[in-house]
Structure 1
Amino acid sequence: MSDQDPQPQYPKYPGEGGETFSAGQPPAEYPSATQPEPERPQSIRTAVRLMQVGAGLSALGTIVSIATIGSLKDSIEDSLRDSDPNVSQSTVDAAYSVAIVAGVIGGIIAVLLWLWMAWKNGQGRSWARVVATVFGGLNLLSTLFSLASPQADGFTISFSLINLVLAGAILVFLWRKESSAYYDSVSQRR
């Protein structure tokens, strides 16, 4: 009998035969907690930073919209009076209040979506890249609608175009070859 007993051998998967490995030593193809996380490539780091900039721009856009809300009240009143000349002031005020609340909630949601996408894409979640791509497409449609709107002012058009360019740059960085390799390596590790 030898001084050291051999390590017990276990099947590769529970209940299966086939290749075995020694206790305490999983095969190399299994990720372990001791393996380091794949390093984020520069393209992912840049995309994440640009998403954070997008969150800041959305917050700024919401603040500017609230600051210039006075012209919105006039626009709402004109629109309501065009459709019904006998509209009451309380209806105008209610519509104005709804517009303010909807704008603030929409702005908060936009900021949170930008930050969520930055966080999940930074973690290398493949689904987040797909969701960011869908959001980029929706951003394109939103920009086209805002450009076609007769009520679009210079700020709205400029803001929409900046947002569109930002979204396009982010998508380019997310779909670069080194980004795809990062998403693949994170997926394989899980």
Structure 2
Amino acid sequence: MARWLWIASALLGLVQVMVDLSDRDTLIAEIRKRDPGMSQDEIDAAVQAGLLFTLLIAGLIVLVYVKIANRMAWGRNWARIVLTVLGAGSVGFGLLQLLAHASGVAAVFGVALDPVDASLTVAGIGLDGTAIVLMFLPAAAAHFRQPVAVDRVPDQS
């Protein structure tokens, strides 16, 4: 179950990136603010390149999460530790983000959190937190003590 939660969390992160990138007008305004001398063609090219690069990185992150989650499901303790560190960082950052917005600190710096972003952040915190807990339940501990002969999926035949 933890493997699927990690994969769902990674996919949710990809959705969150896509939602953030869907506001092309904000991206254009940000580029224009940083370099007012750029022509519209240059701005459009910069936005396209930025979108492509961001989606590529987000896709690679999903693939890495899937690979590590599969290793964890096969009983690799190093994968459980890596996922715990990544998940704890994600949970901590998400909680800080929500706290900054709830306390008004983010508004001081002009950072807004729309309801969709807030919902995706809360869902990510829930997925990551639950996956971490599942990996350390007593029933899971025995799974990580069993030696695995190969570093691939066991033969199902």
The two structures have a TM-score, normalised by structure 2, of 0.72
Measure the CA separation in 2 of the matches of 1:84 and 1:136: 36
Distance 1:156 1:82, change over 3 A: same
| 2:84 is the counterpart of 1:133 | yes
Q: Deviations over 1:85-105 (max 9, x none)?
A: 333213311221122112311
Measure the CA separation in 1 of the matches of 2:11 and 2:53: 19
Aligned pairs (5 A) from 1:16-165: 46-61=1-16, 64=19, 69=22, 71=23, 73-144=24-95, 147=98, 148=100, 150-165=111-126
Report the structure number with the largest CA radius of gyration.
1
> Deviation at 1:124?
0.3
Q: Is the 8 A contact 2:2 2:135 kept in 1?
A: yes
Equivalent position amino acid for 1:156 in 2: D
Measure the CA separation in 2 of the matches of 1:59 and 1:133: 19
State, as a whole percentage, how many aligned pairs show the same letter. 25
Name which of structure 1's ranges 151-160 and 124-133 shifts more when overlaid on structure 2: 151-160
How big is the alpha-carbon RMSD for the aligned residues of Structure 1 and Structure 2? 2.7
Count of residue pairs the alignment pairs up? 140
Gaps of 5+ in 1: 1-45
The two structures have a TM-score, normalised by structure 1, of 0.61
> Deviation at 1:135?
1.1
Equivalent position amino acid for 1:85 in 2: P
Structure with the greater relative contact order (CA < 8 A, sep ≥ 6): 1 or 2? 2
Q: Is the 8 A contact 1:146 1:157 kept in 2?
A: no
Structure (1 or 2) with the greater helix fraction:
2
